[in-house]
């Protein structure tokens, strides 16, 4: 039985590998446009992951918890990370774009750790096992890719 936390942690591991690859590529990137392309790739993938977290995991916790401190912090993290990626895309020069992308990746890594330490255990304590499994199944269902 795959739970929502299992699915999200697995995605975090995939993102960690992707971040490693992006950081490795940044050593050879020479233009702001190349950085913008890498940023766009990571941003779109993270956007889908964040939507799943908000729509499934956070929504379930919002209903179940009276004390929402950890969840509120994670909503704020998502907004700050999104802003970092947006700024990296529109940075006027190469060095700034690269620095902002590295900052956004570092913030994403920190956010994943925070989720795994504080929110995912809350999900497991708060939600019944069948609910966790239903959310996990909903998460792995294919999602339509929005047209750009």
The answer to whether residue 148 sits within a structural domain is: no
The answer to whether residue 145 sits within a structural domain is: no
Mean pLDDT over all residues of the chain? 86
Determine how many CB atoms are found less than 10 A away from the CB of residue 50: 21
> Is 33 in a helix, a strand, or coil?
helix
The answer to whether residue 48 sits within a structural domain is: yes
The answer to whether residue 146 sits within a structural domain is: no
Q: Percent of the chain, pLDDT > 90?
A: 52
Question: Distance (Å, rounded) from C-alpha 14 to C-alpha 63?
Answer: 29
The answer to whether residue 36 sits within a structural domain is: yes
List of residues 6+ apart from 46 with CB closer than 8 A: 15, 81, 85, 108
Question: Distance (Å, rounded) from C-alpha 7 to C-alpha 11?
Answer: 6
pLDDT of residue 76: 83
Residue pLDDT, tens place only, 106-120: 999 999 998 899 888
The answer to whether residue 147 sits within a structural domain is: no
pLDDT of residue 35: 96
The answer to whether residue 53 sits within a structural domain is: yes
What is the residue range of 59's domain?
4-140
With a cut of 50, list the residues of the chain below it in pLDDT. Answer: none
Please tell me the total count of domains within the chain: 1
The answer to whether residue 68 sits within a structural domain is: yes
pLDDT of residue 47: 87
Q: Percent of the chain, pLDDT > 70?
A: 88
Specify the pTM. Answer: 0.86
């Amino acid at each position: 039985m795959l739970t929502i936390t299992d699915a999200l942690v697995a995605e975090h591991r995939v993102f960690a590998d992707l971040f490693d690859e992006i950081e490795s590529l940044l050593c050879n990137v020479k233009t702001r446009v190349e950085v913008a392309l890498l940023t766009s790739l990571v941003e779109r993938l993270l956007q889908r992951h964040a939507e799943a977290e908000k729509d499934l995991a956070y929504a379930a916790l919002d209903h179940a918890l009276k004390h929402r401190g950890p969840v509120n912090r994670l909503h704020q993290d998502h907004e700050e990370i999104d802003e970092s990626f947006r700024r990296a895309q529109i940075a006027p020069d190469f060095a700034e774009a690269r620095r902002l992308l590295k900052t956004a990746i570092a913030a994403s890594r920190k956010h994943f750790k925070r989720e795994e330490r504080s929110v995912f255990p809350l999900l497991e304590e708060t939600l019944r096992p069948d609910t966790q499994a239903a959310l996990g199944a909903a998460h792995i269902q294919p999602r339509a890719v929005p047209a750009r």
